[in-house]
Amino acid sequence: MRSLANRLDLCSINTATLGHREPLHQVIDRVARAGFGGIAPWRHEMEHADKRAIARQLRALDLKVTGYCRSTYIPAADTKAFLSGIGSNRAAIHDAAELQAECFMLVVGGLPDGSTNLHGARRQVAEGIAMLLETAAECHVKLAIEPLHPMYAADRSVVNTLAQALALCDELDPDRRGHLGVAFDIFHCWWDPLVEATLVSPQASGRIVAFHVSDWLRNTRDMLLDRGMMGDGVVQLRRLRELVERTGFEGLVEVEIFSRDDWWQRPADDVLSTCAERLQAHC
Ligand code: ZN
């Protein structure tokens, strides 16, 4: 297992951690100045930016893009809406290629409005990812299926465990062609009684393409916007990183903290210095 001591070059900041309070080019400068080796931007930030200039800036600062966030939700109420979502995701995969992102994050979506067909939504997800895989291969971009905590199954993701995400990978990419994997986010996966056994199984080998850290606060007040800083919660972060790295993962450790009432209220440079300290002390 790698040591993160004095190795901020092995660490990355998801821009959500800073609360999306500044234009992307300023956030990029700030993250690079703080010494991190990578960054993970969001599509809505890119929409307000000059994409080519952002790509040039990232290369000039030698920042890796550990992920591009994130997909348009896949399950839809009708074919037209489904294909519209696929089209939107295809365009985003091209942008991920321009950024030379390690992967495009698939937060696959929950149930379409008015639907109770969970199984059907999951089949739409499989069908949609199969279609996107063609674009991913053309663009040389990896798709990272991110299982989300089951509390989001209705509205954000019908993929809810690591084992389920890996099974999708096996189904859609049995020959392991290199464009499909899983994003392992400790916030979503820490509670799962099968997570350790799954991580050490041959199925997980080589499939983890992104690793996100934060912490689960014992007294979580908001299911979306109250993630903890590493070390403030109950997750055995170092243990999980060890298991993730045993699968062959060699990417950067990405901090992703949604924290509306706490960390997003603090000065950005203070948040970054705390991330740096906690990554080395707790991850
Ligand atoms: Zn994540």
pLDDT tens for each residue of the chain, 283 residues long = 999 999 999 999 999 999 999 999 999 999 999 999 999 999 999 988 999 999 999 999 999 999 999 999 999 999 999 999 999 999 999 999 999 999 999 999 999 999 999 999 999 999 999 999 999 999 999 999 999 999 999 999 999 999 999 999 999 999 999 999 999 999 999 999 999 999 999 999 999 999 999 999 999 999 999 999 999 999 999 999 999 999 999 999 999 999 999 999 999 999 999 999 999 999 9
Beta strands 208-213 and 253-255: pairing type?
parallel
pLDDT tens digits, residue range 43-54? Answer: 999 988 999 999
Total count of residues recorded for the chain: 283
CA of 99 to the centre of ligand 1 (A): 19
Tokens of 102: 């390690």
Question: Ligand 1: distance of its center to the CA of 178 in Å?
Answer: 20
Cα–Cα distance, 56 to 5 (Å, whole number): 29
d(CA 126, CA 108): 10
Q: Which of 171, 182, 278, 174 is nearest to 235 (CA)?
A: 278
Q: How far is the CA of 198 from the centre of ligand 1 (A)?
A: 18
Give me ligand 1 centre to Cα 131, in Å.
23
Cα–ligand 1 centroid distance for 71 (angstroms) = 12
pTM listed for this prediction: 0.98
The rounded distance, in Å, linking the Cα atoms of 262 and 245 is 30
117-139: per-residue pLDDT in tens?
A: 999 999 999 999 999 999 999 99
pLDDT of residue 62: 98
CA of 135 to the centre of ligand 1 (A): 22
